[in-house]
């Protein structure tokens, strides 16, 4: 039975540098706790502006890169070296500056670029290989999933009003008509996002003002980003800046750098 979700914790920083620094401290602490407990750290990343915001993690003390296992919350169905590929973006902005073993980074299998169903099945199978029997539950339990939020309130590749929001069974689904280009993508489904131990949105800049206000102050409108409620014991965080939270009434929390 699913319990009540905890209320989201909202951090709003006055500068991008502060946001990047706090996000780094947060991620490093989450990986430390996961590795201390289970000997590994499972992370899912999104595309957009997120990979760039991870730069504070690089060079941070206390990271055990060889224990990281990285997946994608969503991915565009293009070759891995394509400019639209989230993997390509993460490679350039993040992995290339770390020593995460290549075998611990899990891109889509490009053998199936022409068959979205096979592609989604294959990616789901990659998750099953990592999670089955370890964090045995109906859905995988990621230590951390990092998400962005689009101007229409979408997250990962879950778009407002789209039938994929109703998916309650699959771990990975595909979409052929994404309103944000490119149209073909695969995405983690809501139950997977909502079973993570921790989920953190990273959303900065004036362009997010109206959407953030709706997502946090009017969750009843049901935008995809408002539907992220990790249960039963998970926690949702928002790492934002003051430009993005200008219209948001939802209470901010003070960020205390973890010990
Ligand atoms: O691959 C994608 O398109 C993303 O995963 C998508 O969900 C993104 O995170 C948001 O659109 C926010 O993008 P920005 O951070 O660039 O605004």
Q: pLDDT tens for residues 38-83?
A: 999 999 999 999 999 999 999 999 999 999 999 999 999 999 999 9
Collapsing DSSP to helix, strand or coil, 68 comes out as strand
pLDDT digits (tens, 9 = 90+) for 186-237: 999 999 999 999 999 999 999 999 999 999 999 999 999 999 999 878 999 9
pLDDT at 132: 77
Give the per-residue pLDDT at 136: 56
Which of 12-24 are b and which e, b meaning 16 or more Cβ less than 10 Å from the residue's Cβ? Answer: bbeeeebbbbbbb
Domain over 26-199 is classified CATH 3.40.50.1360: yes
**38 alpha carbon – ligand 1 mean position (Å):** 30
> pLDDT digit string (tens) for 89-104?
999 999 999 999 999 9
Interval 159-181 mean pLDDT: 97
Percent of the chain topping pLDDT 90? 92
150, 205, 225, best to mutate for ligand 1 pocket (most atoms within 8 Å of CB): 150
What is the residue extent of each domain of the chain? 26-199
What are the residues whose beta carbons fall under 8 Å from the beta carbon of 213, sequence distance 6 or more? Answer: 247, 248, 249
| ipTM value > 0.90 | yes
As a whole number of angstroms, the distance between CA 124 and CA 131 comes to: 10
State phi, psi for 204 to the nearest 5 degrees: -130, 155
Q: Which residues of 101-134 are buried (b: 16+ CB within 10 A; e: fewer)?
A: eeebbbbbebebbeebeebbbbbbebbeebbeee
| Residue 193 Cβ contacting ligand 1 at under 6 Å | no
For residue 74, the CA-to-ligand 1 centroid distance in Å is 9
Mutate to test the pocket of ligand 1, among 72, 147, 148 (most ligand atoms within 8 A of CB): 148
pLDDT value of residue 138: 87
Residues of the chain above pLDDT 70, percent? 96
Distance of CA 181 from the midpoint of ligand 1 (Å): 11
Give the integer Cα–Cα distance in Å for 18 and 27.
14
pLDDT at 157 over 60: yes
Name the pLDDT band for 1 (thresholds 50, 70, 90): very low
pLDDT at 122: 98
Flag whether pLDDT at 111 surpasses 90: yes
Q: State if residue 75 touches ligand 1 by the CB under 6 angstroms criterion.
A: no
Q: Which helix (H) or strand (E) holds 130?
A: helix 116-131
Kindly indicate the confidence band of residue 135, based on its pLDDT and cuts at 50, 70 and 90: low
Question: Over 70: is that where the pLDDT of 3 sits?
Answer: no
Average pLDDT value over all residues in the chain: 95
């Amino acid at each position: 039975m699913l319990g009540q979700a905890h209320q989201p914790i909202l951090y709003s920083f006055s500068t991008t540098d502060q946001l990047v620094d706090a996000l780094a401290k947060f991620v490093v602490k989450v990986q430390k706790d996961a590795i201390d407990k289970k000997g590994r750290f499972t992370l899912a990343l999104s595309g957009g502006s997120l990979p760039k915001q991870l730069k504070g993690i690089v060079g941070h003390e206390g990271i055990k890169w060889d224990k990281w296992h990285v997946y994608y919350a969503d991915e565009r169905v293009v070759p891995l070296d394509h400019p639209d590929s989230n993997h390509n973006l993460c490679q350039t902005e993040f992995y290339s500056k770390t020593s995460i073993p290549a075998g611990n980074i899990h891109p889509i299998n490009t053998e199936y670029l022409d068959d979205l169903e096979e592609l989604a099945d294959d990616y789901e199978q990659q998750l099953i290989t990592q999670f089955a029997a370890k964090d045995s539950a109906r859905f995988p339990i990621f230590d951390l999933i990092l998400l962005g939020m689009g101007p229409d309130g979408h997250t990962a590749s879950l778009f407002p009003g789209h039938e994929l929001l109703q998916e309650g069974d699959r771990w990975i689904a595909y979409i052929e008509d994404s309103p944000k280009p490119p149209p073909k993508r695969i995405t983690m489904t809501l139950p997977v996002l909502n079973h993570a131990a921790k989920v953190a949105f990273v959303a900065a800049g004036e362009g997010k003002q109206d959407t953030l206000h709706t997502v946090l102050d009017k969750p009843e409108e049901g935008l995809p980003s408002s539907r992220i409620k990790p249960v039963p014991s998970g926690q949702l965080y928002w790492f934002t800046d003051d430009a993005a939270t200008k219209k948001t009434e939802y209470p901010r929390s003070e960020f205390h750098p973890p010990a």
